[in-house]
């Protein structure tokens, strides 16, 4: 008898993707056939939607996806529908009554409960085992769950709870296991990398963690995502600088540059302290590429504060930057205490202006790479090009490098590539001779 298929639909961020990968492994271990984001579904399929509940657009996407499959459930095009993840965790009391077509609702990490419902067997061989859904040469490593920062705009601590670090030994074990399966590039992720270890070791251990995993044989690249600027652990910069296989790259969300707005956001840092931190990053790690995220339209941001943000971006010249407009999240400090009075059209105008500036900055950075030779990992093959990334480029969010098909290249391998042309968010090159 053919095993029943469980299809996982993964929405939201890379942290959610890791959760989906772990669930795929657990389901496989107890005898289910599994699929991740399949293009077609069968009437016998069970569908599990791993939702995101962080911001308005993500919540809307999750609800629309649930409604889409609820219709499929009603019409008999799938056999079962279950929902998990951040949205389900946050609105677990309200959603079942609103969408009764769903067979079961589960929290963000209640995988055993879902497995128990679907099967009587015990899930999982090791707590971190999973089925990788990314290209086999790279994977995300989630080193912690939750957050202790309680920024005024953010609902994540309300969803995920307090910060919970994974032991260093467990992370090492997961990475060694994945190396044996062919993974070469590891992107470390957490809601707040820079608080790692405080809860279980009594002190921040992110620098030590990076130094230890950098010594694992077969680990070619390590890249770091989602640092927090206040009380930044400087030994992390030393770990980046002193290990050749740690990419000269750091993703750190700064959010704003106005002291007034930063205070309203409860970020516990000033503009001057932020500038000092960035200067120290560039001093300790020459050629570091800093990725940051900024927010426009937060309560208290007038024209003066926005101009201050523009000036800050113009001066700092971030290699990588994303931005979004403020969207009020219920039960956060901002929703309960601050007036979201800036019109949406003003927010969008500011966002467009900020991103136009960043596009100029990004183009200038990329043009400086023309004529240089960069180590590149190949992600995929297209009709006219191989497509890869340098150490300065994280999967899905950063520029890709398009390489002329003059030689046969292998996906997942590293090559020296001469950069021949550049656009704001793309590079072009050829195999270095």
Which residue, 88, 118, 148, sits at the end of a domain?
118
Calculate the CA 24 to chain-centre distance: 19
Q: Which of 26-35, 42-51, 240-249, 363-372 has the lowest mean pLDDT?
A: 26-35
Is the pLDDT at 193 greater than 80? The verdict is: yes
According to DSSP, the β-strands at 289-296 and 185-189 are: unpaired
Give residues with Cβ within 8 angstroms of 399, minimum separation 6: 362, 366, 389, 393, 425, 426, 427
According to DSSP, the β-strands at 320-325 and 246-252 are: unpaired
CATH code of the domain containing 34: 3.40.50.12160
Kindly state whether residues 243 and 294 are assigned to the same domain.
Answer: yes
| Count of structural domains within the chain | 3
- Counting residues of the chain whose pLDDT is more than 70, the rounded percentage is 97
Q: Show the tokens assigned to 194.
A: 């820079």
| Residue 123 resides in a domain | no
SS3 213: helix
| Residue 129 resides in a domain | no
Instruction: Identify any residues that bridge with 428 across adjacent strands, giving them in sequence order.
Output: 402, 421
Kindly state whether residues 243 and 336 are assigned to the same domain.
Answer: yes
Calculate the CA 239 to chain-centre distance: 21
Kindly state whether residues 171 and 310 are assigned to the same domain.
Answer: yes
Reduced DSSP (H G I as helix, E B as strand, rest coil) percent helix, strand, coil of the chain, to 5: 35, 25, 40
Average pLDDT score, the chain: 92
pLDDT band at 322 (very low <50, low <70, confident <90, very high): very high
Kindly state whether residues 20 and 91 are assigned to the same domain.
Answer: yes
More confident residue, 136 or 117: 136
pLDDT band at 131 (very low <50, low <70, confident <90, very high): confident
Which residue, 349, 367, 385, sits at the end of a domain?
367
Q: Show the tokens assigned to 107.
A: 């929290």
Which residue, 367, 400, 416, sits at the end of a domain?
367
Q: What's the pLDDT tens digit per position in 207-221?
A: 999 999 999 999 999
What pTM value is reported for the model? 0.81
Q: Which of 38-42, 88-92, 172-176, 323-327 has the lowest mean pLDDT?
A: 88-92
Q: What's the pLDDT tens digit per position in 57-106?
A: 888 888 899 999 999 988 889 989 999 888 888 887 888 888 988 988 99
Q: Show the tokens assigned to 266.
A: 């409860």
* Vertex 28 angle, CA 24 and 29, to 5°: 120
Kindly state whether residues 147 and 268 are assigned to the same domain.
Answer: yes
Residue 398: give the domain boundaries. Answer: 373-431
Q: Please report which helix (H) or strand (E) contains residue 282, including its range.
A: helix 271-284
Is the pLDDT at 2 greater than 70? The verdict is: no
SS3 408: coil
pLDDT of residue 1: 45
| Residue 124 resides in a domain | no
Q: What's the pLDDT tens digit per position in 264-315?
A: 999 999 999 999 999 999 999 999 999 999 999 999 999 999 999 999 999 9
Q: For 186-212, what is the mean pLDDT? A: 97
Kindly state whether residues 238 and 297 are assigned to the same domain.
Answer: yes
Q: What's the pLDDT tens digit per position in 146-180?
A: 999 999 999 888 888 899 999 999 999 999 999 99
Kindly state whether residues 357 and 322 are assigned to the same domain.
Answer: yes
Q: What's the pLDDT tens digit per position in 222-236?
A: 999 999 999 999 999
Sign of the four-CA dihedral 285, 286, 288, 294: positive
Q: For 426-430, what is the mean pLDDT? A: 97
According to DSSP, the β-strands at 414-423 and 426-431 are: antiparallel
In whole angstroms, what is the distance from residue 267 CA to residue 254 CA?
A: 9
Q: For 243-265, what is the mean pLDDT? A: 98
| Residue 402 resides in a domain | yes
**DSSP category for residue 383:** S
CATH code of the domain containing 264: 3.80.30.20
More confident residue, 8 or 76: 8
Q: For 228-245, what is the mean pLDDT? A: 97
Kindly state whether residues 252 and 392 are assigned to the same domain.
Answer: no
Is the pLDDT at 19 greater than 60? The verdict is: yes
More confident residue, 14 or 214: 214
SS3 201: helix
């Amino acid at each position: 008898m053919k095993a029943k298929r469980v299809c996982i639909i993964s929405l939201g961020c890379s942290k959610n993707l890791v959760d989906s990968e772990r669930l795929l492994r657990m389901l496989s271990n107890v005898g289910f056939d599994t699929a991740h984001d399949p293009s077609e579904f069968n009437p016998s399929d069970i569908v599990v939607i791993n939702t995101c509940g962080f911001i308005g657009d993500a919540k809307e996407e999750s609800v629309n996806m649930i409604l889409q499959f609820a219709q499929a459930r009603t019409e008999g095009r799938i056999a079962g529908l279950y929902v998990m993840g951040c949205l389900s965790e946050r609105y677990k009391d309200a959603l079942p009554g609103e969408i009764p077509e769903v067979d079961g609702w589960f929290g963000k990490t209640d995988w055993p409960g879902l497995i128990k419902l679907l099967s009587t067997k015990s899930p999982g061989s090791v707590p971190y085992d999973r089925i990788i859904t990314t290209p086999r040469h790279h994977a995300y490593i989630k080193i912690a769950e939750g957050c202790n920062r309680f920024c005024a705009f953010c609902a994540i601590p309300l969803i995920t709870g307090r910060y919970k670090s994974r032991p260093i030994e467990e992370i090492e074990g997961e990475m060694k296991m994945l190396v044996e399966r062919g993974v070469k590039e590891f992107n470390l992720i957490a809601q707040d990398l820079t608080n790692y270890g405080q809860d279980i070791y009594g002190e921040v251990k992110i620098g030590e963690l990076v130094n230890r995993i950098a010594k694992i044989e077969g680990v070619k690249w390590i890249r770091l995502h989602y640092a927090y600027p206040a009380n930044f652990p400087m030994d992390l910069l030393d770990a980046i600088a002193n290990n050749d296989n740690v990419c000269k790259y750091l993703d750190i969300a700064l959010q704003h540059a106005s002291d007034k707005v930063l205070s309203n956001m409860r970020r516990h840092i000033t503009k001057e302290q932020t500038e000092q931190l960035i200067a120290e990053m560039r001093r300790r790690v020459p050629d570091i590429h800093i990725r940051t995220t900024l927010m426009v339209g937060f309560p208290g941001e007038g024209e003066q504060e926005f101009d201050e943000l523009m000036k800050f971006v113009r001066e700092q010249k971030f290699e990588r930057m994303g931005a979004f407009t403020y969207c009020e999240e219920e039960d956060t400090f901002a929703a309960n205490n601050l007036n979201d009075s800036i019109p949406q059209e003003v927010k969008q105008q500011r966002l467009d202006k900020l991103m136009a500036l960043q596009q100029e900055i990004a183009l200038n950075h990329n043009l400086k790479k023309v004529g240089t030779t960069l180590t590149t990992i190949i992600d995929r093959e297209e009709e006219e090009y191989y497509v890869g990334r340098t150490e300065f480029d994280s999967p899905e969010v950063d520029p890709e490098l398009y390489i002329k098909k003059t030689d046969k290249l292998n996906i997942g391998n590293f090559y020296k590539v001469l950069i021949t042309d550049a656009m704001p968010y793309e590079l072009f090159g050829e195999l270095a001779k």
